Amino acid sequence: MFVIKCPYCGERDQTEFVCHGEAHIARPKVPSEISDEEWGSYLFFRSNPKGIHYERWTHDHGCRRWFNVVRDTVSDKIIKTYRMGQSKPEIENE
Amino acid sequence: MSNQNRTFSGGRIDRNKPINFMFNGQKYQGFEGDTLASALLANDVHLVGRSFKYHRPRGILTAGSEEPNALIQLGIGARTEPNIRATEIEIYEGLEAASQNCWPSVNFDIGGANNILSRLFPAGFYYKTFKWPPSLWLFYEHFIRKAAGLGESPKAKNPDRYEQRFHYCDVMVVGGGISGLSAALAAARAKCDVLLVDENSYFGGYLSNSEASVNGKKIDDWIRIVCEELESYEHVKLLNRTSAMGYYDYNYVTALEKVTNHHQELSKTLPRERYWRIRAKKIILAQGAFERPLVFADNDRPGIMMASAGMKYLCRYGVLPGKSAVLFTNNDHAYLSAFEFVDKGAKVTIIDSRNEASDRVKNRCKELKIKIYFSHSVISTFGQKKINALEIQKTEDKGNKLVGAVKKIDTDLLLMSGGWNPAVQLFSQSRGKLKYNKKINSFIPDIAIQDQRIVGCNNGDFDLSYNLENSFQSGLKVAKELGKDINFENSNFNGKEHIPFVSAQVEPYMIGKKGVTKGSKHFVDFQNDVTAADIFLAQREGYISVEHTKRYTTTGMGTDQGKTSNVNALSLMSHIHKKPVDEIGHTTFRPPFSPQTIGAIAGRSVDSLFDPIRKTSMHKWHEENGAIFEDVGQWKRPYYYPKKGEDIHKAVNRECKSVRKSLGILDASTLGKIDLQGPDTAKFLNMIYTNAWSKLEVGSCRYGLMCNEHGMIFDDGVTSRLGENHYHMTTTTGGAARVMSWLEEFLQTEWLDMQVFCTSVTEQWSVLSISGPNARNFLSELTDIDLSKESFPFMRFREGKVCGIDARVFRISFTGELAFEINIPARYGSYVWNEFMTHGKKYNITPYGTEAMHVLRAEKGFIIVGQDTDGSVTPFDLNMEWIVSKKKEDFLGKRSFSRSDTSRNDRKKLVGLLVNDKTTVLPEGSHIVEKSKSQPPMKMLGHVSSSYFSPTNGHPIALALLKNGASRMGDEVEIPLMNGKVIKATVTDPIFYDKEGLRNNE
């Protein structure tokens, strides 16, 4: 069970958080103008990397804020957490 | 005769405090400090159970938590616990215990026939025999479970209390042997918060039962002084009787503390067990090692035990389990047990599989006149319920060949030692990688993933002085890493042992390898009755991966998880495949380390504390007025209010009729309520709901549907504009939290520039929903709000006083009648409800529950999200095109309406169903077919989503999702029921009452 550093509250137990899957998948600005395939990709397709994974979490039983987490899916090490709206940090696989 | 095997002195028991207990219905006496195993051995009871598969007589193999044989049914009635290791049970006055897996008794067990028929039960027997046909497995399983079994779980509710505690510390030390104590001492002196846990009732571990010394002090004195120092620190916590069970990411450890298991009485104040959830910055594993059995013919008879266990019974419990003992060993260290036994008056013969031992032990044997047979193996044992003799034979070629004459030796105890296995379970659970160490022929920790250190025998180091010093330094190092200001120093602990723990020369056990002797069994896994022959068979049949061998033979799959058997199984596989053990690999260790009770995992989260119960302000009134409650999420909602002699149908019919005829009242407080404020709220609602919100005026209400991005409905409700930038949203009772999260998600992740605040106000408001032709007449007598049709039309909102209390009144209707939803600050909810009930008498005000509410809304064809929808239903499927804006460029879900699957025109649509017989209320969930057949498959068209008897119409009504529903109006469909009957029904419009919607506009 992880210890996660909420960017707003600090380190807390994983039981306070909920994971919401892959991060940095922006909602298309004008959905009506994109193809079914592009829309389907936004709805259904996610990467499933071995190693560095960017994901969205909420501090549900805390400040209720959404933020991003960089986690290594092999070691389960949480490498970085950062606020929504901040740009995606480039992190290499170990 | 009682305690006939007890020595006159010595041991850590109190001979002045006798304790009486029952085993298999017979009375015995032990002493304070005894375990059930030691007390039984003191009374010369060796036979304690029958084995899992062959029902062979079994005795006590070990003296600790690794025990595979002596599994006991402890206690009786509701507190009984199965599969408890006799070696871990501390006896108390009146303890009752019994053998398991035997009938009618452990001495005469009918299942023992399995042993004679054992050639019929090889590895994989059940898979091979009961494979066909698959449908009969359930039938077989009943008998298999009965025959091959462990203990019985209690039939009644357990009266014990269990609790959980969280603990945070700098350093957690697992294992309170000398290495753990030394490490904890260093960390404690460096002012770290230390938690030290040990599964035993005492600290000191294996050596606490020995004659070893530290700095010239007896080891027991050293242990006592260290414990006293540790206890003197406020920042140190020592927990005995506490097993670390699971080791998870980020140094999260669960541990089970047995608090009052060893007490006679149920405690009024203390729990039976306490489950610790520990997060430690640093963890030091000092769990020691388990002695490894030897694999030879019939190595499982009662009276055969581990050498270290024999010594523990002698030194800790003052029990001499045999007077004419044989030691069978492949290492020097086990000789210690022989010396102790001789010292206490027993005769000992040593069989050493090696061709040589150290001079130190040989000289001592000469002094004590102990005969040693080098290069010999035990090849068979005798004795039905206890060993009485064994045969040995000389070996050649590293034990691969038996030569010379067979010699028979009479004996009453066989001690064995195959070396030691570090207890790597927790290390492995924490994802640490293991490596095989040829010196000790076992796995030791290699690469750690978590922030941890491993010390002592746990790390494969067996030298006392080295372990004392190295553990102490480890304690100092973690303190340094934690930023503690320390001066590195030496512990200055010099340990002395008579015999070094494991000598350099340890041979693989390799006894069962050649010509597995016919008619006898070489047990590898004692608990699951897995023999060397089974391992051979698994390899022959192709189950050569270690994971396959494990599952095919079930080796290591018992409640002991192979603590004594795993390494021997792997060594045997290594021998068969002629590959080093490293290449064979090992199976994965998973939590828990030892069996643990479900009670402890549940803790206090049982019964009423299992899940929170949410009650409305009016709950007491409902209770007092005979409401039957229904759980809606965590809420308790009145289901219906039966009057004397009424069943649910009569009560619901009466409630419905009162609403349609005069006046009903519903406690709608559980509806989700979200307060939305901010300049962008209208813009936000436009994105969240399918319909348009820009033009909603202050003081007006609007119904909305929410869809997810797939275009599927996930919630609905009425939202009202209270002020320029202020809205009040209602959601379904069950969906309130989900909707709140949904709103927050988009505000925080997609539309960060929108200025909207969401606040859950569900519990701030009590909602009294009054409904019926007399609603206006009634309410006008209690409020200053002008309720006239002209100034307060349908779908409007007004503020004012109701019964003198500030209220928000919404003119909305879920029953189709003239209705008002009156929102009152929750603290006045009960008051206003009572006022309503008093003043409403002249209108025959009738409280109605959720069932009547469902019937009334179904008569009107109003949907319930989650009942008439299931996450795969679009607004179009419900014929609700009118609520999907065509003008809005974008809203959540819109783009998906044009996806090929969502826009195809043969989707299931909401329709009404009327049964042709006018009497059958269709079961909800029933499948609808075009034409029923005697058996599946049949072409399915959809299902019934809502179904009730409609009191207003006088016949049943149903809502259904039906393929091509819109084009099937007037068609006849069939609904086959579970009981074989087929009901015919006609497809209709889903609105069964007041189609024009005139009544709620009154």
Question: Would you call A43 and B252 a contact, using CB atoms and an 8 Å cutoff?
Answer: no
**How far does the CA of residue B892 sit from the closest CA of chain A (Å)?**
10
What average pLDDT does the segment B262-273 reach? 89
Evaluate if residue B94 carries a pLDDT over 80. yes
What average pLDDT does the segment B858-866 reach? 96
Q: What is the pLDDT of residue B835?
A: 98
Q: Is A53 inside any structural domain?
A: yes
Size of chain B, expressed as the number of residues it contains = 1002
ipTM over 0.85: yes
**How far does the CA of residue A1 sit from the closest CA of chain B (Å)?**
5
Residue given tokens 């740009």 in the structure block: A87
Q: Give B692's Cβ-side CA count (13 Å radius).
A: 9
B924: its two tokens: 């909800």
Flag whether residue A33 sits within 8 Å of chain B, measured between CB atoms: no
Q: Are residues B636 and B673 in the same domain?
A: no
Output the domain CATH number for residue B916.
Answer: 2.40.30.110
B641: its two tokens: 């209010």
What average pLDDT does the segment B596-618 reach? 93
Q: Which of B538, B526, B606 is closest to B573 using CA atoms?
A: B538
Size of chain A, expressed as the number of residues it contains = 94
Question: Would you call B750 and A27 a contact, using CB atoms and an 8 Å cutoff?
Answer: yes
β-strand partners of B445: B434
Q: DSSP characters for B340-388?
A: HHHHTT-EEEEEESSS---HHHHHHHHHHT-EEEETEEEEEEE-SSS--
Q: What is the pLDDT of residue B211?
A: 80
Q: Which of B497, B593, B66, B521 is closest to B306 using CA atoms?
A: B66
Q: pLDDT tens, B524-545?
A: 999 999 998 899 899 999 999 9
Question: Would you call A31 and B741 a contact, using CB atoms and an 8 Å cutoff?
Answer: no
Q: What is the pLDDT of residue B135?
A: 65
Flag whether residue B279 sits within 8 Å of chain A, measured between CB atoms: yes
Nearest to B249 among A1, A39, A40 (CB): A1
Q: DSSP characters for B663-720?
A: -EEEE-TTSEEEEEESTTHHHHHHHHBSS--TTPPTTBEEEEEEE-TTS-EEEEEEEE
Evaluate whether B377 touches B296 at the Cβ level (below 8 Å): yes
Evaluate whether B169 touches B237 at the Cβ level (below 8 Å): yes
Residue of A nearest to B902 (CA): A36
Q: DSSP characters for B803-854?
A: TTEEEEEE---SSSSSEEEEEEEGGGHHHHHHHHHHHGGGGT-EE--HHHHH
Q: Are residues B251 and B212 in the same domain?
A: yes
Question: Would you call A66 and B745 a contact, using CB atoms and an 8 Å cutoff?
Answer: yes
Q: What is the pLDDT of residue B126?
A: 64
Window 87-116 of B, Cβ < 8 Å to A: none
Flag whether residue B382 sits within 8 Å of chain A, measured between CB atoms: no
Q: What is the pLDDT of residue B504?
A: 41
Q: What is the average pLDDT score of chain B?
A: 92
Residue given tokens 């909102």 in the structure block: B797
Evaluate if residue B791 carries a pLDDT over 90. yes
β-strand partners of B407: B392
Q: Are residues B986 and B907 in the same domain?
A: yes
Evaluate if residue B197 carries a pLDDT over 80. yes
Q: What is the pLDDT of residue B101?
A: 74
Q: pLDDT tens, B907-927?
A: 999 999 999 999 999 999 999
Q: Is B242 inside any structural domain?
A: yes
Residues of B in contact with A65 (CB under 8 A): 748
Nearest to A2 among B250, B748, B890 (CB): B250
pLDDT classification of B505: cutoffs 50, 70, 90? very low
State how many domains chain B has: 7
Q: Are residues B819 and B674 in the same domain?
A: yes
**3-class DSSP state for residue A15?**
helix
R_g of chain B computed on alpha carbons: 38
Q: What is the pLDDT of residue B268?
A: 87
User: How many whole angstroms from its chain centre is CA B349?
Assistant: 48
Residues of chain A scoring pLDDT < 70: 94
Q: Are residues B299 and B382 in the same domain?
A: yes
Evaluate if residue B620 carries a pLDDT over 80. yes
**3-class DSSP state for residue B55?**
coil
Residues of A in contact with B249 (CB under 8 A): 1-2, 76
Evaluate whether B567 touches B442 at the Cβ level (below 8 Å): yes
- Percent of chain B residues topping a pLDDT of 90: 78
Evaluate if residue B501 carries a pLDDT over 60. no
> For residue B589, what is the DSSP state?
P
In terms of residue numbers, what domain contains B537?
A: 522-588
CB pairs A-B closer than 8 Å? 52
d(CA B742, CA B717): 15
pLDDT classification of B129: cutoffs 50, 70, 90? low
Q: What is the pLDDT of residue B134?
A: 62
Domain's final residue, options B830, B848, B866: B848
CB atoms within 10 A of CB B75: 18
Residue given tokens 């938690």 in the structure block: B195
pLDDT classification of B497: cutoffs 50, 70, 90? confident
Q: What is the pLDDT of residue B233?
A: 97
What average pLDDT does the segment B271-292 reach? 97
Distances in whole angstroms, Cα of residue B805 to Cα of each of B319, B822, B831: 81, 11, 10
Question: Would you call B899 and A76 a contact, using CB atoms and an 8 Å cutoff?
Answer: no
One-letter amino acid at B72 equals I
Write phi, then psi, for A44 (nearest 5 degrees).
Answer: -115, -25
- Percent of chain B residues topping a pLDDT of 70: 94
Domain's final residue, options B605, B628, B661: B661
**How far does the CA of residue B870 sit from the closest CA of chain A (Å)?**
19
Q: Which residues, in sequence order, are CB contacts of B330 under 8 Å at separation 6+?
A: B294, B352, B353, B354, B417, B418, B419, B506, B507, B508, B509
What average pLDDT does the segment B481-497 reach? 83
Evaluate if residue B154 carries a pLDDT over 90. no
Flag whether residue A11 sits within 8 Å of chain B, measured between CB atoms: no
d(CA B758, CA B255): 41
Q: What is the pLDDT of residue B495?
A: 80
Q: Are residues B692 and B838 in the same domain?
A: yes
Evaluate if residue B499 carries a pLDDT over 70. no
Evaluate whether A62 touches A16 at the Cβ level (below 8 Å): yes
Q: What is the pLDDT of residue B143?
A: 63
pLDDT classification of B139: cutoffs 50, 70, 90? low
Distances in whole angstroms, Cα of residue B135 to Cα of each of B131, B138, B764, B950: 9, 7, 56, 43
What average pLDDT does the segment B243-251 reach? 96
pLDDT classification of B410: cutoffs 50, 70, 90? very high
Q: pLDDT tens, B418-447?
A: 999 999 999 999 999 999 998 888 999 999
β-strand partners of B820: B770
CB atoms within 10 A of CB A37: 8
**How far does the CA of residue A32 sit from the closest CA of chain B (Å)?**
6
State how many domains chain A has: 1
Q: Are residues B684 and B801 in the same domain?
A: yes
Flag whether residue B449 sits within 8 Å of chain A, measured between CB atoms: yes
Q: Is A61 inside any structural domain?
A: yes
Q: What is the pLDDT of residue B133?
A: 63
Interaxial angle between packed helices B219-232 and B178-189, expressed in degrees from 0 to 180 and rounded to the nearest 10 = 30
Flag whether residue A84 sits within 8 Å of chain B, measured between CB atoms: yes
Residues of A in contact with B895 (CB under 8 A): 28, 31-32, 34, 39
Q: Which residues, in sequence order, are CB contacts of B188 under 8 Å at separation 6+?
A: B194, B229, B230, B233, B235, B236, B475
Question: Would you call A39 and B745 a contact, using CB atoms and an 8 Å cutoff?
Answer: no
Q: Is B4 inside any structural domain?
A: no
Residue given tokens 């005000």 in the structure block: B845
Evaluate if residue B138 carries a pLDDT over 70. no
Question: Would you call A36 and B899 a contact, using CB atoms and an 8 Å cutoff?
Answer: yes
> For residue B500, what is the DSSP state?
-
Distances in whole angstroms, Cα of residue B302 to Cα of each of B1, B47, B474: 20, 6, 42
d(CA B128, CA B131): 6
Output the domain CATH number for residue A77.
Answer: 3.30.2270.10
Domain's final residue, options B129, B147, B182: B129
Q: Is A34 inside any structural domain?
A: no
**Are β-strands B530-531 and B523-525 bridged in parallel, bridged antiparallel, or unpaired?**
antiparallel
d(CA B530, CA B521): 9
Flag whether residue A83 sits within 8 Å of chain B, measured between CB atoms: no
Q: Which residues, in sequence order, are CB contacts of B447 under 8 Å at separation 6+?
A: B432, B433
Whole-angstrom distance between the N-terminal and C-terminal Cα of chain A?
A: 21
Evaluate if residue B782 carries a pLDDT over 80. yes
Residues of B in contact with A19 (CB under 8 A): none
d(CA B286, CA B182): 10
**3-class DSSP state for residue A13?**
strand
Q: Are residues B632 and B673 in the same domain?
A: no
Q: pLDDT tens, B296-336?
A: 889 999 999 999 999 999 999 999 999 999 999 989 989 99
Nearest to A32 among B449, B749, B895 (CB): B895
Flag whether residue B15 sits within 8 Å of chain A, measured between CB atoms: no
Positive or negative: CA dihedral B682, B686, B690, B695: positive
Question: Would you call B250 and A64 a contact, using CB atoms and an 8 Å cutoff?
Answer: no
Most B CBs within 10 A among A43, A59, A65, A83, hence the mutation to make, goes to A43
Whole-angstrom distance between the N-terminal and C-terminal Cα of chain B?
A: 96
Q: Are residues B821 and B925 in the same domain?
A: no
Residue of B nearest to A56 (CA): B749
Q: What share of chain A is helix, strand, coil (3-state, %, to 5)?
A: 15, 35, 50
Q: What is the pLDDT of residue B512?
A: 47
Evaluate if residue B187 carries a pLDDT over 80. yes
Q: What is the pLDDT of residue B513?
A: 45
Residue of A nearest to B249 (CA): A1
Q: What is the pLDDT of residue B768?
A: 98
Evaluate if residue B59 carries a pLDDT over 70. yes
Q: Is A91 inside any structural domain?
A: no
Q: Are residues B679 and B759 in the same domain?
A: yes
In terms of residue numbers, what domain contains A76?
A: 3-27+40-83
**How far does the CA of residue A53 sit from the closest CA of chain B (Å)?**
17
Evaluate whether B887 touches B678 at the Cβ level (below 8 Å): no
> For residue B170, what is the DSSP state?
E
Evaluate if residue B243 carries a pLDDT over 80. yes
Positive or negative: CA dihedral B733, B735, B737, B739: negative
Flag whether residue B433 sits within 8 Å of chain A, measured between CB atoms: no
**How far does the CA of residue B23 sit from the closest CA of chain A (Å)?**
42
Buried b (16+ CB within 10 A) or exposed e, B495-525: bebbbebbbeebbbbbbbbeebbeebbbbbb
Nearest to A36 among B279, B890, B900 (CB): B900
Nearest to B749 among A34, A60, A84 (CB): A84
Evaluate if residue B341 carries a pLDDT over 60. yes
Q: Which residues, in sequence order, are CB contacts of B799 under 8 Å at separation 6+?
A: B785, B806, B807, B808, B809
Most A CBs within 10 A among B707, B895, B900, hence the mutation to make, goes to B895
Question: Would you call A34 and B252 a contact, using CB atoms and an 8 Å cutoff?
Answer: no
Most B CBs within 10 A among A1, A34, A58, hence the mutation to make, goes to A1
Q: What is the pLDDT of residue B28?
A: 97
B383: its two tokens: 């004795």
Evaluate if residue B518 carries a pLDDT over 80. no
Q: What is the dihedral of CA B731, B736, B740, B741, to 10 degrees?
A: -130
What average pLDDT does the segment B336-341 reach? 94
Q: Is B574 inside any structural domain?
A: yes
Residues of A in contact with B894 (CB under 8 A): 31-32
pLDDT classification of B500: cutoffs 50, 70, 90? low
Output the domain CATH number for residue B471.
Answer: 3.50.50.60
Element (H, E) at B337: helix B335-343
Output the domain CATH number for residue B765.
Answer: 3.30.1360.120
Q: What is the pLDDT of residue B588?
A: 85
Element (H, E) at B231: helix B219-232
Evaluate if residue B519 carries a pLDDT over 90. no
Q: Which of B684, B820, B824 is closest to B743 using CA atoms?
A: B684
Flag whether residue B895 sits within 8 Å of chain A, measured between CB atoms: yes
Q: Are residues B77 and B117 in the same domain?
A: yes
d(CA B51, CA B580): 32
Write phi, then psi, for B659 (nearest 5 degrees).
Answer: -65, -45
Flag whether residue A31 sits within 8 Å of chain B, measured between CB atoms: yes
What average pLDDT does the segment B78-107 reach? 89
What average pLDDT does the segment B671-690 reach? 97
Q: Is A92 inside any structural domain?
A: no
d(CA B472, CA B674): 59
Q: Is B676 inside any structural domain?
A: yes
Q: Which of B125, B109, B122, B98 is closest to B50 using CA atoms?
A: B109
Evaluate whether B671 touches B730 at the Cβ level (below 8 Å): yes
One-letter amino acid at B13 equals I
Q: Are residues B834 and B685 in the same domain?
A: yes
Residues of B in contact with A34 (CB under 8 A): 895
Nearest to A31 among B248, B741, B890 (CB): B890
pLDDT classification of B508: cutoffs 50, 70, 90? very low
pTM metric for this prediction: 0.89
Q: Where are the alpha helices (DSSP H) in B148-218?
A: 178-189
